Amino acid sequence: MSLQDCALATDLYELTMAAAYFDNKETSKATFELFARSYPRNRSYLVAAGLEQAIAYLSKLRFDEEQIAFLRDHPSFVDVSERFFDYLRKFSFTGDVWAIPEGTVFFKNEPIVRVTGPIIEAQILETYLLSVINFQTLIATKASRIVQSARGRGVVEFGARRSHGPEAAILAARASYIGGCVGTSNVLAGYLFGIPTYGTMAHSFIMNYDSEEEAFKRFCKIFPTNPAVLLDTYDTLEGAQKVVSMGLAPSLVRLDSGDRFALSKKVRHILDRAGLKDTKIFVSGDLNELIIDDLTRRNAPIDSFGVGTELVTSRDDPALPGIYKLVSVEKNGETIYRVKTSEGKGTLPGAKQIYRRYSKGRNFLNDVLALANENPPSDTVPLLIEVCREGKCVYDMPDLGAIRNHAKEEIARLPAKYKRLKGSVEAPVRLSSKLNHLTNSLWKLHNRS
Amino acid sequence: MSLQDCALATDLYELTMAAAYFDNKETSKATFELFARSYPRNRSYLVAAGLEQAIAYLSKLRFDEEQIAFLRDHPSFVDVSERFFDYLRKFSFTGDVWAIPEGTVFFKNEPIVRVTGPIIEAQILETYLLSVINFQTLIATKASRIVQSARGRGVVEFGARRSHGPEAAILAARASYIGGCVGTSNVLAGYLFGIPTYGTMAHSFIMNYDSEEEAFKRFCKIFPTNPAVLLDTYDTLEGAQKVVSMGLAPSLVRLDSGDRFALSKKVRHILDRAGLKDTKIFVSGDLNELIIDDLTRRNAPIDSFGVGTELVTSRDDPALPGIYKLVSVEKNGETIYRVKTSEGKGTLPGAKQIYRRYSKGRNFLNDVLALANENPPSDTVPLLIEVCREGKCVYDMPDLGAIRNHAKEEIARLPAKYKRLKGSVEAPVRLSSKLNHLTNSLWKLHNRS
């Protein structure tokens, strides 16, 4: 399945609204901001990811004749003039984008992407941008939690089979790497993104042979450089005993079931007694940050972890409630600020900038959310940077290793209370007085407070 | 992002095991079965989906030179002979596949896909098959729960922005349609699969204009045939009053926030009093089967629902624990049965068939899981059918509408206790005495019971 046809990878209403704007001759510029209204459960920070795919999408966004023919025949477009389809034929994104770099830590209600352009163009991007940024941010954040709980031991992303399809698998691998994983089992993610790929063997390999010994022997013969052996097909401790009595010296053994704490201690003991001190213990099987936190707190002799389902689906909360909202329009040279005041779903007006303050220039202190055209608060660093100007990318996309290092630094600079695995603390974000004042006055206009 | 390079859309160990099998000259046939070890939370049945994408994948599975070059340079293949890469150059799937049709209801531990072929070929399919079938089955099942709770009102899938990437969005739209949704907001899913697509307007459309009235008026002017109006940008009831006082007659109004029960009643009242009896009320915003069940039990005057995040991520449990396990190998003309006896993760041996029994030929009674080469139990219907023979698809894939109808019938025939929204009941599946006997004897061989 190819997503080359990505101009249609959007919600229908983006296109019906486009037709309405076109018919109304709405050529004015509009500014939209993408932000998370709230956190997934038990989160107090987020790690931005997905910008590269978002920019690739909007740079190449075009409608071909077949797609246009599909829309022309669609019942929702029965009232739409032919001139709109001519417009789509020539469509490309000509606007400006500001965003925070991938790997940057941010908080709820902070805009991480800001799009300014003719309202039709800026509106059409909504669905795809949200899909690709919500998901990768969700997974980069989940990965950072898991990696922290591993306390320095490597974590490999292992979840392709439980991902929400093959594309979700590679996007999850990319986001997991940004969040601190050392690699992935997904070969395509290695091929496309240069992420280190790892693997051992499946239970089926063991099961194919009449005895576990035969399977171990054959695998170690084929892969003498870095043999890895899976121990738990029948019985983990018997598996370990067999490795030792056969005189094998695998570089790694994998435990995939049972009480991983008790088994890792016993397997370590069996290996050590046989002098296999260099054989690493790799543990997998329905792990998450809470289980890993428990194993590492108790000093289980585990060298690294493979985490699949829980990581690539962010199983404890599989959706980031990111939204994309209109914050201002320009009409006759004037900026008109916009808010939504729906019950529990209100928004902040105007193009904004996030200003971050550090204590002693190093550790994270707090953020100020201000209008982009205000004077910056003192001793702060702006987070949103220019990414596209008039439809062209003007940002030198960092490579994935650099993004990963940036995320690592960001998380290191974040106070511990935001990194707790359970509960959620108040976002350390205050509004500038100008933004606060503007918000209040607009909400009052709509009889809300 | 294109998934044309799908031969690498797999876990690394599938390919290292392939290399090991190749080096060991393992040309024997093996049989693998795909099944769910357990249910997602609060489920007692599953709706099969994803077979069409699985078959498309394995039919066209090839390795190109660039992919082979990537593998040859990979550290895991440093010990692998050049002859293996020659093998990959000529690789195609030549095996047999049996499966249950999409839309069929099934239970845990029942194999829904069975692959028999040279072990390398059958093994390599694992990751992709699991990813595409686990996900679509998860979502078709979730959709069927939501559709049942809607009690005859239409449910539209609205979740692209919270899906796990753009491909997950179209796969979710497809699976949701199989599970009983009337359509999707996703245009690409309409384009690729012919699913009906629906949409209204976003809050941004309202916010773009200086007044809500102006926005309503302009949208209804552009779309006179089926105007749909979003009421809750500022205040839902004020929005409804404006529609009425402006003399508009939208075909549909949408409520996206607040107390949907109270608001739908009040909005219905406002509309009815103005004679707008034909204006439908469409409700969206963080809905799920429990909320919809509550609304429809209380007879909220809602005509249809839009469900996004909760549906496309199966938010209450976002992973189906489907696995793909070796059940037998053929060596020297003899079938050797295989099991795994890992703690809590044991498997059943042998190529199997699901035999379904109906009461009075109509309602579902129970299933018998038997070896595929046993005599069928009396008064039962086999569920797995031949899909591929020697690598060629021999199954006339039904169109999506037929699959959806099949699922609807299947769910109608299922007793109510399996369809409860909370809790999980025992799977109505028993093993044939032959399968039971074989399983026990093999488990004993590995000192397990």
Contact A343 B258 (CB under 8 A): yes
> Residue B445: helix, strand or coil by DSSP?
helix
Q: What stretches in chain A show pLDDT beneath 70?
A: 1-5, 361, 448-449
Contact A79 B16 (CB under 8 A): no
Which tokens in the block code for residue A60?
């190449």
Number of H helices, E strands in chain A: 16, 19
Interval B70-78 mean pLDDT: 94
Return the pLDDT at B2. Answer: 46
Cα–Cα distance measured from residue A236 to residue B344, given in angstroms and rounded to the nearest whole number: 13
Strand (E) or helix (H) holding A135:
helix A126-149
Using CB atoms, pick whichever of A8, A21, A199 lies closest to residue B187: A8
B4, pLDDT greater than 60: no
State the DSSP code for B363. Answer: E
Tokens 């018919």 locate to: A23
Which tokens in the block code for residue B112?
């829904």
Q: Which residue of A has its CA nearest to B1?
A: A3
Return the pLDDT at A2. Answer: 46
Q: Is B362 left (phi over 0), alpha (psi -120 to 50) or beta?
A: alpha
Nearest to A100 by CA among A41, A184, A43, A34: A34
State the DSSP code for B283. Answer: E
Q: B164 near B158, Cβ under 8 Å?
A: no
Cα–Cα distance measured from residue B213 to residue B231, given in angstroms and rounded to the nearest whole number: 11
State the Cα angle at B114 between B111 and B120, rounded to 5°.
Answer: 135
B179, pLDDT greater than 70: yes
Contacts 24+ apart (CB under 8 A), B216-224: B216/B242, B216/B243, B216/B246, B216/B248, B217/B246, B217/B248, B218/A20, B218/A24, B219/A20, B220/B248, B220/B250, B222/A19, B222/A20, B222/A23, B222/A24, B222/A79, B222/A80, B223/A16, B223/A20, B223/A76, B223/A79, B224/A79
Residue of B5, B13, B120 to mutate for A, most A C-beta atoms under 10 A: B13
Tens digit of each residue's pLDDT (9 = 90 or more) over B216-268: 999 998 888 888 999 999 999 999 999 999 999 999 999 999 999 999 999 99
Return the pLDDT at B449. Answer: 53
Cα–Cα distance measured from residue B20 to residue A197, given in angstroms and rounded to the nearest whole number: 18
Q: B46 near B143, Cβ under 8 Å?
A: no
Residues of B within 8 A of A4 (CB-CB) are 2
Nearest to B153 by CA among B311, B303, B346, B358: B303
Q: B253 near B281, Cβ under 8 Å?
A: yes
Contact A341 B313 (CB under 8 A): no
Within B39-125, residue ranges assigned H as helices are 51-59, 65-72, 82-89, 119-124
Looking at the complex, report in whole angstroms how far the Cα of residue A361 sits from the nearest Cα belonging to chain B.
Answer: 36
- Distance of alpha carbon B92 from the chain centroid: 26
State the Cα angle at B7 between A176 and A312, rounded to 5°.
Answer: 20
Q: B236 near B267, Cβ under 8 Å?
A: yes
Which tokens in the block code for residue A36?
């998370």
Residues of B within 8 A of A6 (CB-CB) are 166, 188
Using CB atoms, pick whichever of A5, A187, A309 lies closest to residue B15: A187
Q: What is the pTM of this model?
A: 0.97
Tokens 């010990």 locate to: B79
Tens digit of each residue's pLDDT (9 = 90 or more) over A352-408: 999 999 998 689 999 999 999 999 999 999 999 999 999 999 999 999 999 999 999
**Which residues are CB-contacts of B52 (< 8 A; sequence separation ≥ 6)?**
B102, B397
Angle subtended by helix axes A126-149 and A400-412, to nearest 10: 60
Handedness of CA B266, B272, B276, B278 (dihedral sign): positive
Interval B51-66 mean pLDDT: 95
Residue of A59, A116, A161 to mutate for B, most B C-beta atoms under 10 A: A161
Return the pLDDT at A3. Answer: 57
In order of their start, the domains of chain A are 6-139+317-445 (3.20.140.10), 200-283 (3.20.20.70)
Looking at the complex, report in whole angstroms how far the Cα of residue A17 sits from the nearest Cα belonging to chain B.
Answer: 6
Contact B15 A197 (CB under 8 A): no
Percentage of chain B lying above the pLDDT 90 cut: 90
Strands (E) located in B9-95? 29-36, 46-47
Identify the band that residue B92 occupies on the pLDDT scale cut at 50, 70 and 90.
very high
> Residue A351: helix, strand or coil by DSSP?
coil
SS3 content of chain A, % helix, strand, coil (to 5): 40, 20, 40
Handedness of CA A118, A123, A124, A125 (dihedral sign): positive
Using CB atoms, pick whichever of A21, A200, A336 lies closest to residue B13: A200
Residue type at B140 in one-letter notation: A
Q: A230 near A203, Cβ under 8 Å?
A: yes
Residue type at B241 in one-letter notation: Q
In Å, what is the CA distance from B205 to each residue of A20, A128, A152, A177, B215?
9, 18, 49, 38, 7
Return the pLDDT at A1. Answer: 37
Cα–Cα distance measured from residue A125 to residue A132, given in angstroms and rounded to the nearest whole number: 11
Cα–Cα distance measured from residue A394 to residue A396, given in angstroms and rounded to the nearest whole number: 7
Q: Which residue of B has its CA nearest to A286?
A: B321
Tens digit of each residue's pLDDT (9 = 90 or more) over B117-143: 999 999 999 999 999 999 999 999 999
Interval B94-109 mean pLDDT: 98
In Å, what is the CA distance from B393 to each residue of B55, B104, B365?
8, 19, 31
Residue of B14, B23, B164, B197 to mutate for A, most A C-beta atoms under 10 A: B164
Q: Which residue of B has its CA nearest to A32?
A: B204
Looking at the complex, report in whole angstroms how far the Cα of residue B376 sits from the nearest Cα belonging to chain A.
Answer: 28
Nearest to A124 by CA among A208, A53, A61, A180: A61
Looking at the complex, report in whole angstroms how far the Cα of residue A379 sits from the nearest Cα belonging to chain B.
Answer: 35
Average pLDDT, chain B: 95
